[in-house]
Amino acid sequence: MGRSKSKIKDLKRCAVYTRKSSEEGLEQEFNSLHAQREAGEAYITSQKQEGWILVPDEYDDGGFSGGNMERPALQRLMKDVEAGKIDVVVVYKVDRLSRSLADFARLVEVFDKHQVSFVAVTQQFNTTSSMGRLTLNILLSFAQFEREVTGERIRDKFLLSKKKGKWMGGTPPLGYDVVDRKLIPNEGEAVIIREIFKTFIETRSQIETAERINEMGFRTKRLPRKGGQVAGSKKFTRTAIYKLLKSRLYKGEIGHKGEWYPGEHKALIKPDVWEQVETILQGNSSTRQTDSRHRNTRSFLRGFLFGPEQEALIPTASRSKGKLHRYYVSSTARKHGHKHSPLPTLPAREIEFLVVEHLRDLLKQPEIIFTTWQMLTDQDTFNEDQVREALNDLSDIWNLLFPEEQRRLMKLLVSRIDVHQQGIEIRFHQEGIPNITNELQGEVTWP
């Protein structure tokens, strides 16, 4: 019985895979696939003493190239390998499994993962033996080398082509069509590009440019897809305008990893117009960076304000006669312009004053003080007068705190603030007011 159990344990389920590139001759009673199968089955029989047995399923791909893995029988074989139904894959020659060294390496990776061996009967290739494993490792090393060399060749060719100004594929940009792998101006779309550059020079604003271009009826590039579907053909956003203005493609250049080269295609924008736009963009960027530092450090409501439809209100700023003016605007206004926003631009000082006054009124209400005292008595020995004094302290010292300290206290106290045309609604954290009271009874950070 012990010997019988040992034999069952050592059984190796073997699958024979056959392939023929062309369909010619497959109609014959005995064809190439039959010959390959017979050779594979004979080899399995010769290994009977090793416990090799043939699985009943047949994996035959007639009329399929070995240059790729899109073969029904191969796909079925790999599924059975992954399902643990096969221990050894047997083929007539290695190229029956794949003619691509890279594909062969991927197949072997799956075999290794599921502890499946591989045998080519006419080439003494058997990964169940140490010599077979050595041969396999040599083949896989060549496969890795082939992949790296191929990758280098492709990258080198790509770079050389770009340096020569050639278009190397991808979605054609607005203003051009691709004809015979070259960018050819689309005169209808070229009008849009020139109008965008002209309008931006006049307005010096990406949002206002987007609004004007959309009002003229212009849209982004229309891209037909398979099945009759269409992509693109949408209204321009602030971001879309910025990307077009920054694209050196329109001054006749081709880019590659941050480097730009003279292109084969015709420029749509004159050099002096391009330089004028670039100067405006750089000036705007410098102003935005300066204003951003003021905006982000002073806007203690950043991240708390929400408009209709759960839309976040974002701090922004502008300068007029050297004076900084801060605002909160909806993300819609930033993308598409203020005309499309559900709320008007909110002056930061006014909305911040409104929120603080609303908080002060709430913190002085008797029911708030009483509820806070009740919650605190569960954990500390506070009396109601101490709670009232702590909340009054917060109201009195608020304007003396640094913006970041105000923001830290807001995080402890408030979860969000909803802004409507009718007013504001403040939502508190459940433990917000008691936490603030606790902190104020201890130590307050002063400027």
Q: In what helix (H) or strand (E) does residue 360 lie, and over which residues does it extend?
A: helix 348-363
Specify the residue for token string 């015979």: 180
Is the pLDDT at 447 greater than 50? The verdict is no
Query: Does 176-285 match 2-146 at the fold level?
Result: no
Helix axes 432-442, 384-397, angle to 10 degrees: 90
Q: What are phi and psi of 407, to 5 degrees?
A: -65, -40
> What's this model's pTM, rounded to 2 decimal places?
0.46
Percent of the chain at pLDDT exceeding 70: 73
State the pLDDT at residue 127. Answer: 75
Confidence of residue 12 (pLDDT cuts 50, 70, 90): very high
Is the pLDDT at 251 greater than 80? The verdict is yes
The mean predicted confidence, pLDDT, of the chain is: 78
What are the angstrom distances between the C-alpha of 225 and each of 228, 229, 258, 300?
A: 6, 5, 30, 47
Is the pLDDT at 61 greater than 70? The verdict is yes
What are the angstrom distances between the C-alpha of 303 and each of 238, 290, 312, 315, 318?
A: 22, 20, 7, 9, 20
Integer-rounded Cα Rg, in Å, for the chain is 36
Nearest in space to 123 (alpha carbons), one of 101, 81, 94, 149 = 94
Q: Which of 94-108, 253-267, 283-297, 397-411 has the highest mean pLDDT?
A: 253-267
What are the angstrom distances between the C-alpha of 281 and each of 78, 107, 134?
A: 56, 52, 61
**Per-residue pLDDT averaged across 137-148, rounded?**
66
CB burial string 289-308: b at 16+ within 10 A, e below: eebeeebeebbbbbebbbbe
Q: At the topology level of CATH, where does 176-285 sit?
A: Hect, E3 ligase catalytic domain fold (3.90.1750)
Helix (H, G, I), strand (E, B) or coil at 201: helix
DSSP 383-417: -HHHHHHHHHHHHHHGGGS-HHHHHHHHHHHEEEE
pLDDT in tens, 146-161: 667 777 777 877 788 8
**Per-residue pLDDT averaged across 331-339, rounded?**
69
pLDDT in tens, 163-180: 888 888 888 899 999 998
CATH architecture of 2-146: 3-Layer(aba) Sandwich (3.40)
**Domain extent listing, the chain:** 2-146, 176-285, 305-442
Is the pLDDT at 107 greater than 50? The verdict is yes
| Lowest mean pLDDT across 19-33, 74-88, 254-268, 424-438 | 424-438
Contact by Cβ (8 Å): 114, 82: yes
Cβ-based neighbour number of residue 438 at 10 Å: 17
Specify the residue for token string 């069952």: 8
Task: State which amino acid sits at residue 294.
Answer: H
Confidence of residue 121 (pLDDT cuts 50, 70, 90): confident
State the pLDDT at residue 239. Answer: 85
DSSP 54-74: E-S--EEEET--TTSS--HHH
pLDDT in tens, 190-214: 999 999 999 999 988 888 898 899 9
| Lowest mean pLDDT across 165-174, 254-263, 385-394 | 385-394
State the pLDDT at residue 414. Answer: 80
Nearest in space to 438 (alpha carbons), one of 357, 368, 395, 381 = 381
What are the angstrom distances between the C-alpha of 375 and each of 371, 431, 437?
A: 6, 9, 11
Instruction: Give the residue with greater pLDDT, 298 vs 176.
Output: 176
